[in-house]
Amino acid sequence: MWEAPATREPPAPSIPRELYPKTLDCVHCGLCLPVCPTYRETGRETSSPRGRVYLMRGVAEGRIPLGEVVAEEAQLCLGCRACETACPSGVRFGALLEETRAAVADAGIRGGPGPKLERFLLRELVPKPRRLGAALSLLRVAQQLRLDRLAARLLPAGARHLADGAPRVPSRSQRRPLPSVVPAEGETRGRVGFLVGCVMPEIFGAVNQATVRLLAKNGFEVHVVPGQGCCGALQAHAGQAELARELLDRNVQAFSGEGLDAVVSNSAGCGAFLREAGDHGIAGGEEFAGHVRDVCEFLDAVGMRPPAPERRLRVAYDDPCHLVHGQGVSAAPRRLLQQIPGVELVEHADPTSCCGAAGTYNLTQPEMSAAVLGRKIRSLRDASPDVVVSGNPGCLIQLQRGAREIGWDVQIAHPVELLSG
């Protein structure tokens, strides 16, 4: 358990200077190239991790202008961090990318409607629960009247892709707020906070409910602490560093001092960002970050109580980038799923590569997103699973879209949906 920090420190500069030397960690070995989705698709050195680090270093040293080439490569990168896992030299690519995107945003280099729409969504909609809820209610009505399909034909390319790939919005009953405290079942093993998220309660309310149920069933009193909200991960990945830091700070303050054993997240992207709270100059950030756990990682560590009843299913687990590369968690979800009687875990050829969701990437880079998704879906389909499982909302939406586009009738689920029975 930990205490709330007494004071808040002043904001950190948007481009942390200590990151420049990190570009020097790259020894040009090229081990990251085969795992990089954009390099695999293009074969271009500038679209590889090594090429991008070279560009970043050049900008930092004043040899390369911060212009369109750098901006395009910063945007074409998925931010999947597969290169970090492959890198023997410890290059912190994700942090370098966020710094570069923030510099590009500050310099106002990116033009066109895509960046404006992205900025509007991430600033005015996603972190504002009422507006987001109202917008999604409207989308639900449009989906029921099939107006979304009409819109997908009439809108310009970037927005069309958004309308076309939008997830089905569930009914109000599945989007109702969680209780502030859910009591533990059986012998109490501890108290945990639960990060509700921004998109999760609106699109995956059933997953949030299943997560809380599963934690309670495992003996944990679950606290849905007030004052929490959108974590800021999407904004950070899009170069909106200041807003991202504000949102992260709000969450650190909300959860700190509540006497919790852990802060549990069921969204890989959110969890990875919360775990970096210590890097953003936020008071109490480091201590908070040390308490953040992915739900599968947490249950695996404490020992899951016997899970759901027998289910005869072939299950393909697909690693969310921000869980396997961002948090180093890959064995825990597989171990938990294998504990369900009757479940056969089937591996597929490409589990740790990006699905092309990557925050707002499918909005800003629709062609590359589709190419990366196509490779992923082919790999999954070749394994012939009954269910594809992945622990991140963006991945779930993207995989649903990919399956829909090829007419593949497969269930796409979050691990807790199977584990909670």
Residues forming the site for ligand SF4 (CB under 6 A): 26-32, 35-38, 49-50, 52-53, 77-83, 86-87, 89, 91, 93
Q: In this complex, which beta carbon is closest to ligand SF4, that of residue 52 or of residue 110?
A: 52
**In the complex, least distance from residue 116 CB atom to ligand SF4, rounded to whole angstroms:** 23
Distances (CA, A) of 364 to 115, 160, 224, 325: 7, 11, 33, 22
Indicate the length of the chain as a whole number: 421
Closest to ligand SF4 by CB, 28 vs 130, is 28
- Name the helix (H) or strand (E) containing 133: helix 129-144
Nearer to ligand SF4 (CB atom), residue 35 or residue 262: 35
Taking the least distance from each CB to ligand SF4, the nearer of 96 and 380 is: 96
Residues 330, 352 contacting (CB under 8 angstroms): yes
Q: Is the dihedral of CA 270, 273, 278, 283 positive or negative?
A: negative
Of 100 and 251, the one with the shorter C-beta distance to ligand SF4 is: 100
- Phi, psi of 182, deg, nearest 5: -115, 120
* Residue whose CB is less far from ligand SF4, 289 or 368: 368
| DSSP code string of 283-337 | TTHHHHHTTEEEHHHHHHHH-PPS-SPP--EEEEE---HHHHTTS---HHHHHHH
State both tokens at 333.
């979800």
Contact between 264 and 298 (Cβ < 8 Å): yes
Give the separation between CA 67 and CA 107, rounded to whole angstroms.
Answer: 9
Write down the least CB distance from residue 310 to ligand SF4, Å. Answer: 39
Q: Please, what is the minimum distance in Å from the beta carbon of residue 331 to ligand SF4?
A: 21
**SS3 category, 194:** strand
Beta carbon nearer to ligand SF4, 38 or 398? 38
The distance of closest approach from Cβ of residue 17 to ligand SF4 in the complex, given in angstroms and rounded to an integer, is 20
CB of 175 to ligand SF4, least distance (A): 32
| Closest to 214 measured CA to CA, from 177, 182, 176, 170 | 182
Cα distances from 151 to residues 69, 140, 147, in angstroms, run 33, 13, 6
Q: Report CA Rg, the chain.
A: 21
Q: Which of residues 217 and 322 has its CB atom nearest to ligand SF4 in the complex? A: 322
Least distance between ligand SF4 and beta carbon 46 (Å): 11
C-alpha closest to that of 299 among 259, 258, 255, 333: 333
Q: What is the closest distance, in whole angstroms, from the C-beta atom of residue 51 to ligand SF4 in the complex?
A: 8
Least distance (Å) from ligand SF4 to the CB of residue 190? Answer: 35
Minimum distance from residue 70 beta carbon to ligand SF4 (Å): 13
Contact assessment for residue 330 and residue 401, using Cβ atoms and an 8 Å cutoff: no
Q: What is the DSSP letter of 80?
A: -
- Residue with Cβ nearer ligand SF4 (40 or 311): 40
Q: At closest approach, how far in Å is the CB of 276 from ligand SF4? A: 15
- State the Cα angle at 377 between 376 and 379, rounded to 5°: 65
Choice between 252 and 321, CB closer to ligand SF4: 321
